[in-house]
Amino acid sequence: MKTAIIGAGPGGLTLARLLQRNHFVCEVYERDASPAARPYQGSSLDLHTASGQQALKEAGLLDEFNALSRPEGEAFRVCDAATAKIKFKTKPPKPGKPNKPEIDRLLLRNLLLDSLLPGSVHWGKQLDYVEQVGQTHILHFANEPQSESEFDLVVGADGAWSRLRAVLSPEVPIFSGVTAIETIISKDLVRSDVDELVGHGSLIANRGTQSLWCQRQGDGGVSAAQYMRTPEGWVAQCGINWEDSETARVALVDRHMSEGWAEIFRHMILGSGAEIWPRALYMMPVGWRWNPKPGITLLGDAAHLMTPFAGVGVNLAMEDALELSRALLRWGGDGRESLTEAIAEYERPMFERAQLNAALTWKNLVRNFGTHE
């Protein structure tokens, strides 16, 4: 059996590693031109014992993960937005108990990439559409005449705006009502009071329907993201020129943080000296699922895009990869009928997991940011 995985994010790469480790033939097709195409992939991720870490354990990569990750990054603080006083902080994790150490996205990606067979990740390959011919599939890429054929199974691990999703359902992501605006303060620009307040982990300060999330990164820098309720299309229509980071940071703070925010929080946006990335947060409807289709399935954000307010997205993506690989292993690689059953065996509990977590993150969103009305 030959498998194509679309997308070299954490979900797709975990699946590739698990399949290759069990001698399945699989190729990964990634839109990025190279592994270095996006040096900053977003703030760091915590991997949970039963999902992200379990997938790495079965991939034979847990020791390397333990060497690269930061257990102290699990620390979490809640601050008063106006005074910057700490209102709550977690206790350090107990040795031997379930934990969720942090790892930088790039380190996780490289850990997985380095574990794959040389040449099995194809860069600069943006999937356009999939054509079914008999019992196999042909992949067609954007801006490229050459296609790839003869795949028995195609797995869409291509994230929020998955192209493969369209083969399974006409449903598209809906705007959640919240936009995140993120910047990163490099280590040398982290002010001493910021250093102390953020500590080794994450910090949140809430005010009305706004929430500032700050997080220590592996290189000592600090990411700062302002989450706020906005109308759909706000990023393009708000009049802030996001291309000019300096004026964008000033405009954001003037318009949205001038009152009720302590100086230290305004400084985290103003003083970053770095790019600023606005991201409108989209989601699939809670409980969305598709009818099974032979030889095609999805995992991770492609399967269940949700907002980050339950902190589980990457863990679900890696758990999906683990469960799909287990289902394929049980099946063993022979016969189309049972491949369809193996996929259904993976999809049924995945839909349940996704629905539970999507409902939780939606509940958290409503609690923090209110509803559209």
Does 228 bind ligand FAD (CB under 6 A)? Our answer is: no
CB of 37 to ligand FAD, least distance (A): 8
Taking contact as CB under 6 A, which single stretch among the options 132-140, 187-195, 267-275, 307-315 is the one that binds ligand FAD?
A: 307-315
CB of 11 to ligand FAD, least distance (A): 3
CB 200 within 8 A of CB 180: no
What number of chain residues touch ligand FAD (CB under 6 A)? 31
Q: Which is nearer to ligand FAD, 295 or 308 (CB)?
A: 308
- Of 101, 159, 173, 221, the one binding ligand FAD (CB under 6 A) is 159
CB 105 within 8 A of CB 44: yes
Does 31 bind ligand FAD (CB under 6 A)? Our answer is: yes
Q: Which is nearer to ligand FAD, 40 or 333 (CB)?
A: 40
Does 319 bind ligand FAD (CB under 6 A)? Our answer is: no
Place of tokens 């949140």: 204
Strand order in the sheet with 276-283: 86-89, 76-80, 202-207, 210-216, 222-229, 174-185, 276-283
Taking the CA atoms of 110, 113, 119 and 122 in sequence, report the sign of the dihedral they define: negative
Does 55 bind ligand FAD (CB under 6 A)? Our answer is: no
Q: What angle do CA 202, 223, 72 make, to 5 degrees?
A: 35
Cβ-Cβ contacts under 8 Å for 154 (sequence gap 6 or more): 3, 4, 6, 130, 137, 139, 164, 295, 296
Q: Which of 105, 109, 75 has its CA nearest to residue 89?
A: 75
Does 27 bind ligand FAD (CB under 6 A)? Our answer is: no
CB of 36 to ligand FAD, least distance (A): 13
- Of 301, 323, 345, 347, the one binding ligand FAD (CB under 6 A) is 301
Q: Which residues bind ligand FAD (CB under 6 A)?
A: 6-12, 29-32, 42, 45, 126-127, 157-159, 163, 180, 279, 300-302, 308, 311-315, 317
